A = this chain, B = another copy of it.
Amino acid sequence: MRTNTPIYQRVADDLRAEIADGTRPPGSQLPTEAELQEKYGATRYTVRQGLAALVNEGLIVSRRPLGYFVREIHPMIYRPQQEFRRKQPDLDLFAQLLADEGNGRQPSQDIEVAIVQPNATTRDRLKLNESELLAARRRTRYIDGEPYNINDSYVRLSFVQDSEFMSPVDVARGTNQVLADLGKPLVRALDEIYVRMPKPEEVTRLKLGPGTPVAEHIVTTYTFDDEPVQVTINIVPGDRHVIVFERTREWPPTEQGASE
């Protein structure tokens, strides 16, 4: 088998296996191109092909002129439920695996407000007429000055025209409270998560490296009467986040759910 594998692929396979089993931990430097050429009796071009495959898989990064390094991933917790959540004791797992990730890092955000035409995503979810315009509140969030995610909210312009929603600064009580004060308390949300490669403008806005997919997280929020009021489109880079939900159920269950 092995003899039929092209050399560039053997280079990639061997390094990938050593990354997976911890022999090469996150942040460690890989052998130089010259070392790999010698080890595999291969040309520089072949060795680079193997390294490029791992870059595109998001496993290593090139830091010229230093060389190649195993990628370090320090995901922040991205918790859609936070907005709606009643306080309950955190599961132990958070403390163990996830809870300390934000420590000491400095969050900030840019806020921009615009009046826009709806597109297919917002029109379908908000059930808009042809002629209706939207107010858009666009936030780019940073941690220690590095872009982390994009969060763009859309509401019918007629709802929020003269409200703080249109003010491009942080609203202390939250824009959901602004909408509630305008008579639209949001009590129900639908989360849709699409996993895809980023668009060029997302690569630029979020400074994404090669091999970095994103989650497009679309939240539609509703009133008591199931009237859709707000659509929020979050672009969440895979190398910077873990998306977390918690669920509970009654026991014995009121209705039997299938598990497989």
Contacts and interface: CB of A to CB of B under 8 A. Distances in A.
Interface of A: 13, 16, 20, 56-58, 75, 80-87, 91-94, 96-98, 109, 124-125, 139, 151, 170-171, 174-177, 180, 185, 187-197, 199-200, 211, 213-215, 220, 222, 224, 226, 228, 236-239, 241-260
26 contacts: A13-B200, A58-B196, A58-B197, A83-B257, A84-B249, A85-B249, A86-B249, A91-B222, A91-B226, A93-B220, A139-B260, A151-B260, A174-B258, A177-B256, A185-B251, A188-B246, A188-B249, A189-B247, A189-B248, A192-B242, A193-B193, A193-B243, A193-B245, A194-B238, A195-B213, A196-B238
A247 B84 contact: yes
A191 B247 contact: yes
A259 to B, nearest CB: 3
- Total copies of the chain: 2
Contacts of A197: 56-58, 211, 213
Contact of A226 (B92, B125, B195, B236): B92
A192 B249 contact: no
Nearest to A22: B120
**Chain A interface secondary structure, helix, strand, loop or mixed?**
mixed
B187 A251 contact: yes
A245 B248 contact: no
